[in-house]
Amino acid sequence: MVSLAAYKIALIVVLAGVPTSFGASTYYYQQQSTTLNNHVSSLTTQLNTTNNDLAGLKTQLSSANSQVSSLNNQIISLNGQLSQLQSQNSQLQGQVNLLQSQLTGHNQLQVSTVSQGQVSLSSNNGFQQVGFSVPPNAVERLNITFSTASQGCLGALPISAPCSLGVSLFNQTQFAKFSKCNCIQYGNYTTTTWSSPIATSYTTQMVITSSGAWTLAFYPEPGASSTLTIQVNESVFLMGPLNLTTQVTQVSNGSISVAGYTGIQFVSFTASAGGISYSLNLTFSAGGGSVRVALLNQAQYIGFVNCNCVPYGNYTSATWMAPLATSYTAPVTVPASGIWYLAFFEPPGTSNPLSISETVKLITLTT
């Protein structure tokens, strides 16, 4: 009985304790769940914050990439400007070097006085000569100035009419003929290397490319009918030696055709102003016949085009004309700057078309 009673008591105790223990467990789990929920909520908040921060960083990164791209474009642009400036600097340096070279050359020029003062001329066929020489292998510049205040050279005009005069440059052969020509009064002068216009005053300079002895002659205007002494103020200076530069320009190189009888082919070129001398290196060969070549200035070219003279051989004036030939090679002097023409044509009475192989180069000497 005791045992049974004790068992019952123990059972009652156990049963009495069961509700209490279950309640405690439920409370515990509720607390844990609340804590976990709080942690989850906190972590969610942190995750959202992190995502927002990440989005902000992505925006900053995108902005930074845009700035990098912009800076790269600026670098490319600046490199282009730098390259352009370097090119300009190189060109300017070249110009500086050229100017320094020219300055050095000018500083090395020797100036000699050929003549300076006053000379007297007879208005009736008289002249005064001034001689000088250019050393071998040298090129020199001649500066000439003259003026006169004399009056009454031409008797048909009032006594107060001013006198005029000219000056010419001669080599020794040319001057020998001039000094004996008795031609000044009539104006039918002999050949000269260069002549000034007839004027009361004049200033010029020229480059002399040939060495040797030269003569300048001052002479009055033609037509004087009475003898009068003309007082001439003049100065002549020789400067040198000059350094020359040779420029070679290809004018033409190939094949041209002439139709025969009236056929003409023209090759044009320009001798630029500022050169000391101009010349052509001309070579041609014709297949099946002979041809002529003429050098024409602008006025001569117009006359040649309009003359209808090629079939008859009564050509208009030309600066130079080659002999009739199937092939020809020669240097040709171009006397001045400007537009020039080479005319290729067959001789009179020829009707067969020809093909002409030609090469033309322009040689320009400059200081």
Are β-strands 338-345 and 264-271 bridged in parallel, bridged antiparallel, or unpaired? Answer: antiparallel
The kind and range of the H/E element at 311 are: none
In 3D space, the residue among 200, 197, 201, 202 whose CA is nearest the CA of residue 143 turns out to be: 202
Contact 331, 280 (CB under 8 A): yes
Distances 36 to 30, 33, 43, 199 between C-alpha atoms, Å? 10, 5, 10, 121
Name the one residue in this structure whose structure tokens are 């208005």: 123
> Based on the domain organization, do 196 and 162 belong to the same domain?
yes
Residue 281 is encoded by which pair of tokens? 């290196």
Identify whether residues 121 and 198 lie together within a single domain.
Answer: yes
**Whole-angstrom Cα distance, residue 333 to residue 209?**
14
Question: In angstroms, what CA-CA distances link 103 with 71, 100, 106, 121, 142?
Answer: 46, 5, 5, 40, 19
**In the prediction, which pLDDT does 159 show?**
64
Q: How many domains are contained in the chain? A: 3
Are 267 and 360 contacting, i.e. CB atoms less than 8 angstroms apart?
A: yes
- Asked if 327 and 273 sit in the same domain, the reply is yes
307 and 341 both lie in a single domain: yes
How far, in Å, CA of 298 to CA of 292, rounded? 19
The per-residue pLDDT for 108 is: 64
- Write the CB contacts of 266 (distance below 8 Å, at least 6 apart in sequence): 301, 341, 342, 343, 344
Do 267 and 358 belong together in one domain?
yes
Residue 132 counted as domain residue: yes
Same domain for 345 and 321? yes
**Within this chain, do residues 98 and 114 fall inside the same structural domain, yes or no?**
no
In-domain check, residue 354? yes
Domain of residue 44 covers 38-108
Whether 222 is in a domain gets the answer: yes
The CATH code of the domain that includes 191 is 2.60.120.680
Look up the pTM and report it. 0.50
Per-residue pLDDT of the chain (367 residues; tens, 9 = 90+): 556 666 666 656 555 555 555 566 778 888 888 888 888 888 888 888 888 888 888 889 888 888 988 888 889 988 888 888 887 887 878 777 766 665 555 556 788 899 999 988 876 668 999 999 998 888 888 999 999 988 877 765 556 678 888 999 999 999 999 999 988 888 888 999 888 988 999 998 888 888 899 999 999 888 766 677 888 999 999 988 887 788 999 999 999 998 866 678 999 999 999 888 899 999 999 987 889 999 999 999 999 999 888 888 888 889 999 888 999 998 898 988 999 999 999 888 777 888 999 999 999 988 7
Q: How many helices (H) and strands (E) does the chain have?
A: 3, 16
Query: Which of 190, 166, 169 is CA-nearest to residue 114?
Result: 169
Does residue 256 form part of some domain? yes
pLDDT for 338: 95
The pLDDT assigned to 329 comes to 92
Q: What share of the chain is helix, strand, coil (3-state, %, to 5)?
A: 35, 40, 25
Query: What is the DSSP secondary-structure string of 54-122?
Result: HHHHHHHHHHHHHHHHHHHHHHHHHHHHHHHHHHHHHHHHHHHHHHHHHHHHHHT-EEEEEEEEEEEEE
